[in-house]
Amino acid sequence: MTVLNEIHHAGCFIVSEEENNYSRDQITLLTGHGVLQPGTVLGQITASNKYIPALAGAVDGSQTAKAILYGYADTTSADVIATAITRLAQVRASDLTVDSSLTATYAAQLAAVDGPIIVR
């Protein structure tokens, strides 16, 4: 029998969200972070308002989880406009890509977003 493996697809981590895509926003991802997968937990750089994968050791604002990338994005060579979940959603923790430095705090940080993102 053939075994099929499903890869992550856009929005695969969403349990529920607000109607009419209200939970989603267009954001700018900063160049230089390679190909990012759907479900990547993002932090926002305060000075530029651009997003990168959240890291606890950062000191530029991106140390706080603020959003979750909706689909794939290739930031290898340029900034990218992408869709992210930024408010009022429930997401599945097992489908998120989170830096190990944030595993203890990212759920609480997302819940603290104005219009919380709840990690289940």
Per-domain residue ranges of the chain: 14-119
The arithmetic mean of pLDDT across residues 43-52, rounded, is 98
pTM of the predicted structure, to 2 decimals: 0.93
How many CA atoms are closer than 13 Å to the CA of 69, on its beta-carbon side? 31
- Looking at the chain, the whole-number percentage of residues with pLDDT higher than 90 is 89
The arithmetic mean of pLDDT across residues 4-29, rounded, is 92
CB 24 within 8 A of CB 86: yes
Topology of the domain comprising 14-119: Virus Head Decoration Protein; Chain: A, (2.40.300)
Label residue 3 by pLDDT band (50, 70, 90): confident
d(C-alpha 59, C-alpha 46), whole Å: 10
Tokens of 45: 């750089």
Across the chain, what does the average pLDDT equal?
95
The arithmetic mean of pLDDT across residues 45-66, rounded, is 96
Label residue 1 by pLDDT band (50, 70, 90): confident
Helix (H) or strand (E) holding 111: helix 106-111
Beta-carbon contacts of 2 under 8 Å, excluding residues fewer than 6 positions away, are: none
Residue with tokens 């689909």: 71
